[in-house]
Amino acid sequence: MAVKIYDTKARKKVALTFRDEGKVSVYVCGPTVYDVPHIGHGRTAVVFDTIRRYLIWSGLEVNFVSNVTDIEDKIIARAARDGLTESEVAQEFEEKYFAELDRLVVMRPDVTPHATGYIAAMVKLISDLVANGHAYTIDDQGVYFDVSSYSAYGELSHRDLATLLESAGARVDVDSAKRSPVDFVLWKLAKPGEPSWDSPWGAGRPGWHIECSAMALGLLGDGFDLHGAGDDLVFPHNENEIAQAGAAGHEFARHWIHSGMVQINAEKMSKSSGNFRSLADALDTYDPRAFRVAVLLTQYRSAMELGDSELTAAASAVDRFDSLARRAMAVEIDLSTASIDRKREQSFRAAMDDDFATPAALAIIFAAVSEANQAFDCEDIETAATLVATVKELAGVLGIVIGRIEDSSGDSRIDQLVVDRETARANRDFATADRIRDNLEAEGVVIADRASGTTWHRR
């Protein structure tokens, strides 16, 4: 296998190489759980889930770690606002996060570390940084990372310290107590009433960046293979992760991969700007598979629109899959024994190996859908069976489940209505037949008259 990925640090496509042959260790930055997940969380999760599925399908043993940040200023603020404890807030929104990801058929991480479960490891890492001179304390505030002490700072996001210093303070007030405006907090001392953990520097809580360094190193070890995150975390979050780990003497991620943002009307969607759509809303309105297809129809690094027109279009594409599945079911094709078209599988693999080119991979699958339909039209069932099996297999690799899970048979009331309509049609009483069809249509049941008889399914 020769997967190439666009490595953010290298700024080009590179061969994905592994610390341990045949195994790949992945860390992906997860959400801070202070509010409901939005469609941007959905996109990022689908992107990395698809990468994960592809790597597994390629025969690699994947260890996929993705964290939940369950202590942070925004959680504290939300708890205060709602009169809840921080852990209640975190728990509520973590549950909601995973509930939505479940609908998207996103696999749960192999390990989901929580910041509050890694305090000791973080304290240890900070202690190491203080001990070797990469961190300093400020009375009554906490412990800070000394960016100037780490010469490789900026290697991920390609910034140099001088430039950073120039622009520092341009957009945000600088905390004058810090030695340098670019220094960042490792340990925040608690104000009265805030949740806190004991540490050598006093009761407090970890800074945001330290948790990912500590958890990634703790769970995957030095020099793990792949670190992923949303594009907006490259700087400063991921950059700081590297600095913390590196300054403490650890080799950090070998490769970095970042997924693009979701936009609304060409503007980045974000909670802080208020232009966000919740994932629950999108998945209530559209088939979650349509969401997934819409996401994968765009290259993962590009910013993308993910609005009603995109979701509607993707929903139609999903219908195409389901129509094909119904067609296969109607002639009772046994997919478990059908062979896979190896040439298409190879093309699919080539597309995915090239930096997970899901748009190209989907194009291959859609082409197979068309040809499967053609084969059915020619009553070449054997060819059709191979193509349908191939579509199912490859779509499955992308996490797209083809064919409705719900049962579209066994509803005797609808079956009877269909029979009634057949009778009416036989009598050329089309007014009655059409009325029955319209009524069923209104409740989401679609009628299809075929040479082999009438079938129905739910929309």
Partner RNA sequence: GGCGGCGUAGCCGAGUGGUUCAGGCAAGGGUCUGCAAAACCCUGGACGCGGGUUCGAUUCCCGCCGCCGCCUCCA
288 binds RNA (CB under 7 A): no
Burial 415-437 (b: 16+ CB within 10 A, else e): eebbeebeebbeeeeeeebeebb
- Which residues within the stretch 74-93 sit at the binding site for RNA (CB under 7 A)? 74
Cβ 19 to RNA shortest distance, Å: 24
Query: Stretches 81-89, 110-118, 159-167, 335-343: which one binds RNA (CB under 7 A)?
Result: 159-167
C-alpha 404/C-alpha 395 separation (Å) is 14
First to last CA, the chain: 40
4 binds RNA (CB under 7 A): no
Query: Stretches 120-128, 300-308, 339-347, 382-390: which one binds RNA (CB under 7 A)?
Result: 300-308
Cβ 444 to RNA shortest distance, Å: 12
Query: Stretches 16-24, 56-64, 214-222, 428-436: which one binds RNA (CB under 7 A)?
Result: 428-436
Contacts of 57 (CB under 8 A, 6+ apart): 397
- CA geometry: angle at 64 spanning 61 and 69, to 5°? 170
With beta carbons less than 8 A apart as the criterion, state whether 420 and 436 touch. yes
Cβ 47 to RNA shortest distance, Å: 9
| Residue 105 CB-density burial (10 A; 0-12 exposed, 13-18 middle, 19+ buried) | middle
Site size toward RNA (CB under 7 A) is 88
Query: Stretches 78-86, 132-140, 281-289, 301-309: which one binds RNA (CB under 7 A)?
Result: 301-309
C-alpha 216/C-alpha 212 separation (Å) is 6
- Which residues within the stretch 14-53 sit at the binding site for RNA (CB under 7 A)? 29-32, 38, 40-41, 43-44
Whether a cis peptide bond, with omega within 30° of 0, leads into 236 is yes
440 binds RNA (CB under 7 A): no
158 binds RNA (CB under 7 A): yes
Contacts of 151 (CB under 8 A, 6+ apart): none
With beta carbons less than 8 A apart as the criterion, state whether 390 and 340 touch. yes
299 binds RNA (CB under 7 A): yes
Give the one residue of 81, 343, 413, 450 binding RNA; rule: CB under 7 A: 450
DSSP conformation letters of 39-92: HHHHHHHHHHHHHHHHHHHTT-EEEEEE-BB--SHHHHHHHHHHT--HHHHHHH
Q: In terms of CB distance, is 131 or 448 closer to RNA?
A: 448
Q: In terms of CB distance, is 197 or 366 closer to RNA?
A: 366
Q: In terms of CB distance, is 166 or 198 closer to RNA?
A: 166
- Which residues within the stretch 371-400 sit at the binding site for RNA (CB under 7 A)? 373-374, 376-377
- Which residues within the stretch 230-269 sit at the binding site for RNA (CB under 7 A)? 230-237, 259-263, 266-269
Give the one residue of 92, 194, 319, 380 binding RNA; rule: CB under 7 A: 319
Give the one residue of 151, 370, 416, 439 binding RNA; rule: CB under 7 A: 370
167 binds RNA (CB under 7 A): yes
- Which residues within the stretch 58-77 sit at the binding site for RNA (CB under 7 A)? 69, 72, 74
| Residue 332 CB-density burial (10 A; 0-12 exposed, 13-18 middle, 19+ buried) | exposed
Eight-state DSSP code of residue 178 = S
304 binds RNA (CB under 7 A): yes
